[in-house]
Amino acid sequence: MNNQRRTVLKSGSGAALLGMLAAAGIITPGMALANWNKAAFDAKSMADTLKALGAGAPADSKDVQVTGPDIAENGAVVPVGVATSLPNVSMVAILVEKNPNALAATFTLPADTEANVQTRIKMGQTSNIYALVKSGDKFFMATKEIKVTLGGCGG
Amino acid sequence: MGNPMKIRAANKDGVTEVKVLVSHEMETGQRKDAAGAVVPAWFITELVAKHGDKTVLSAEFGPSVSKNPYLAFKFKGGAKGEKVTVSWKDNKGDSRTDEAAIG
Amino acid sequence: MVQRMLKSVVGIALACAFGGPAIAQDSKVADELAKYREALADGNPADLLEAKGEGLWAEKRGPKKASLEQCDMGLGPGKLEGAYAQLPRYFKDTGKVMDVESRLVHCMVTLQGFTQAEVTRQWFSKPGTESDIEALVTFIGAKSNGMKINVPATHPEEAKMAKMGEYIFYRRSGPQDFSCSICHGQEGKRIRLQELGNLTTKDGAGFAMKTWPSYRVSQGAVWTMQRRLIDCMRQARWPEPNYLADSIIALETYLQKTATGTVMETPGIKR
Amino acid sequence: MNLKFALFGALSLALTTPAVAQKSVEAPGGKYAKDAEQMFRASFRADNPKYWMTRLDQDETMKTCQQYRDNPPRPIGQKLEKLNAATIRYPVDGKLIGDWKEGEKLAAVGTGGHIGFIQPDPPGRVRGGNCYACHELAKKEVAYGTIGPSLHHFGKIRGNSDEIIKYAYDKIYNSNAFTACTNMPRFGLHSWLTPEQITHIVAFLMDPESPVNKD
């Protein structure tokens, strides 16, 4: 506790202290969190996930890119991203076809935020990764296979 | 309440790039411990980034986001010295807020 | 005998003949792997631990309510810049060759008043359980980032430890006939897709040693050199040496001596 | 030195790496070897189960290989090869080719047999051959190691004569029967794999239907 506080304070940020207070329940965090989309994250299959996201059957688009390596050295950390040149993008999502629950993350993008987001996800095995993009009121999708390899001594 | 995040924000040609590293276990709820018991799910569900008072990104995570989550994105605007604030909340109700100055 | 040899010559020739497409495929795999590693490098979770370690170093803790700021890692009390790169080394006050972890534990016991058992109980992290040692070692290691490894092992006790480390490096036993050298004694080999490095050369040992401590994405944790070497022995299907055992410090001395002159790049991030 | 011996010497020089200056190479640890062995042995918990600790014992092959840094002088190597060849045992039914599908599974498994307190294998976990850690085999598996030679198209290249089949079996059972101090484990000698499991891996290498011999 103390050491965390020290580190935070050393970085000289008042808002970090705010964070401490927020975490301690003294004040509420200064953010308006949306309701976590349980139905979408609990869905198993791609189709059910898309339905829960209200995306129906999105069209494939060449203007959407899944960024990431073809090969992951380990499935626990796979760097992936979504980028698109489509206009008026308000939401992007990353889905992993063969994970127990397909949906990994969704991002809501205000008007001034670029439609180019990167994160790191877990993959249980080699799978197709899908990038879902909402442009205007339409959904578009792109896919890429990422191979998850076994590594090291094997155990 | 977790450890501090590491937030980097840099403005170039009117666009601010934000990179966030969060300290969090991101337990899937599918792993078993040494005794064979399922370890309960414990993961960040929501994360919000703000530039001043303005939300620049809100994200929802499932448990398949990697341990110690990483996030990078860009928004138009932002000037040197202005603050970017990132807050998260997990499925156990824990939360945390940290901030960094745009460099 | 000769016939068998000839047979394997033919085998090698054939393998070479079939080597063409394999090399093309291999280089594509290597490119994508490089892309993967590059994507990880920007945003190393070890940085989070380094910050935590910095806090722990300065915090007054333990029965004596003391910080570690007077800890002598070999360059004098509180002098951390470059200390990691010059360990293990002989310490007069204990009459022993110590590595970064044994010295750190020594300081936590003598300066802060913890017992050895208290300090080492969580010498490595598990999911949901953090390790102060990992954080502190990450912080101390980072203070040598960009500096040259320098363990000449000129003190007789250091020289002896390096020699004993060499002995352990070549020692074969267990149900797989393993030693360190069978995987780490040749140039240009890899296990699965991971480059192994020849730890008997400066380049090989340097390549291996310069990035530790390192965040291991497969483990979701920073591994210290003690953890790294103890796990090598687990993978050899041997029993685990005790944490801070002299045989581990001996191996470290041997490897750091061999790597001497290599510039540190720590904390690292790897598979 | 007769001609045959000289020819053999030349060949082994060409094939193996520096077989020359062994006499000048000091045994690892030098004058501290004894101390080092003692120190190593003292590094383990006193309450470790006895069978764990037997894994630290060295047979003659291990000891000799360590002494010569895995590169023994030829006469000593030959002696070890003879010694190891004598250990090879065969399945009771005499069949050396099993089921390649089983062999394919074993080739990919790298777990099993881990002991200790930090991350032991659960009891009863199958020990694999972990062939891919060191060898290229089926083309579709890109994550293969290069410590050993590529075995891609093993059967396709060599044909499936009884001699080759026996060679493959023997090599897996006790690699040191062919090359003293090789990096390859002696899977049969240590009962790491059963004779039956070895026949499955032989099938994986030899069977025309095995992915090793396709693509």
The 10s digit of each residue's pLDDT in C14-32 is 333 333 445 567 789 999 9
Structural domains of chain A, count: 2
* CA–CA gap between residue D9 and residue D15 (Å, rounded): 10
Mark whether D75 and D119 lie in a shared domain. Answer: no
Is position A37 within any domain? no
Q: Which has the closest alpha carbon to C90: C259, C257, C214?
A: C257
> What interhelical angle do D74-85 and D60-67 show, nearest 10?
160
Find which of D106, D118, D127, D130 to mutate to test the A interface (most A CBs within 10 Å of its CB). D130
Q: To which H or E segment does residue A120 belong?
A: strand A116-121
Q: Do C246 and D136 touch (CB under 8 A)?
A: no
Look at residue C174 and give its three-state secondary structure. Answer: coil
- Mean pLDDT, chain A, rounded, equals 84
Q: Do B19 and C127 touch (CB under 8 A)?
A: no
The residues of C assigned a catalytic role are: 232
Domain boundaries, position A117: 44-148
pLDDT of A21 over the 50 cut:
no
Mark whether A22 and A85 lie in a shared domain. Answer: no
Mark whether A24 and A48 lie in a shared domain. Answer: no
Which pLDDT score, from 0 to 100, does residue B1 have?
Answer: 65
Top CATH class of B6-101 equals mainly beta
Give the number of beta-carbon pairs within 8 Å between C and D: 180
Contact C198, C187 (CB under 8 A): yes
Domain boundaries, position D36: 2-85
Could you give the dihedral angle defined by the CA atoms of residues C217, C219, C225 and C231, in that order, rounded to the nearest 10 degrees?
-130
Mean pLDDT of D197-213: 98
Is position A92 within any domain? yes
Is position A64 within any domain? yes
Domain end among D53, D85, D117: D85
DSSP per position, A31-91: --PPPP-HHHHH--SHHHHHHHTT--SPEE-TTEEEES-SEES-TT-EEEEEEE--SSEEE
Contact C218, C271 (CB under 8 A): yes
Structural domains of chain D, count: 2
* CA–CA gap between residue C72 and residue C82 (Å, rounded): 12
Q: What pTM did the predictor assign?
A: 0.89
List pLDDT tens digits, range D100-144. Answer: 999 999 999 999 999 999 999 988 898 999 999 999 999 999 999
Q: Which has the closest alpha carbon to B52: A15, A21, A18, A23?
A: A15
Mark whether A85 and A129 lie in a shared domain. Answer: yes
- Provide the 8-state DSSP code for D88: -
Find which of C35, C194, C217 to mutate to test the A interface (most A CBs within 10 Å of its CB). C217
pLDDT of D1 over the 50 cut:
no
Measure CA of the first residue to CA of the last residue in chain D; give whole Å: 47
Is position D93 within any domain? no
Domain C44-270 fold: Cytochrome Bc1 Complex; Chain D, domain 2 (1.10.760)
Residue C77 or residue A35, greater confidence: C77
Domain boundaries along the sequence of chain B: 6-101
Domain end among D85, D113, D148: D85
Q: Which has the closest alpha carbon to B86: B13, B15, B24, B14?
A: B24
pLDDT of A85 over the 70 cut:
yes
**Chain D residues 94-153 with a CB less than 8 Å from chain C:** 113-119, 132-134, 136, 142-147, 149-150, 152-153
Separation in Å, CA D55 to CA C19, C169, C238, D33, D196: 38, 16, 6, 19, 24
Which pLDDT score, from 0 to 100, does residue A12 have?
Answer: 35
Contact B27, B63 (CB under 8 A): yes
Beta bridge partners of B18: B9, B73
**Nearest chain C CA: its distance from B3 CA (Å):** 8
Q: Do C194 and A74 touch (CB under 8 A)?
A: no
Q: State residue C62 phi and psi, 5-degree precision.
A: 80, 175
**Chain B residues 55-84 with a CB less than 8 Å from chain A:** 55-67, 69-77, 83
Which pLDDT score, from 0 to 100, does residue A34 have?
Answer: 54
Mark whether D71 and D150 lie in a shared domain. Answer: no
List pLDDT tens digits, range B5-28. Answer: 999 999 999 999 999 999 999 999
Is position A135 within any domain? yes
> What interhelical angle do C2-17 and C19-41 show, nearest 10?
60
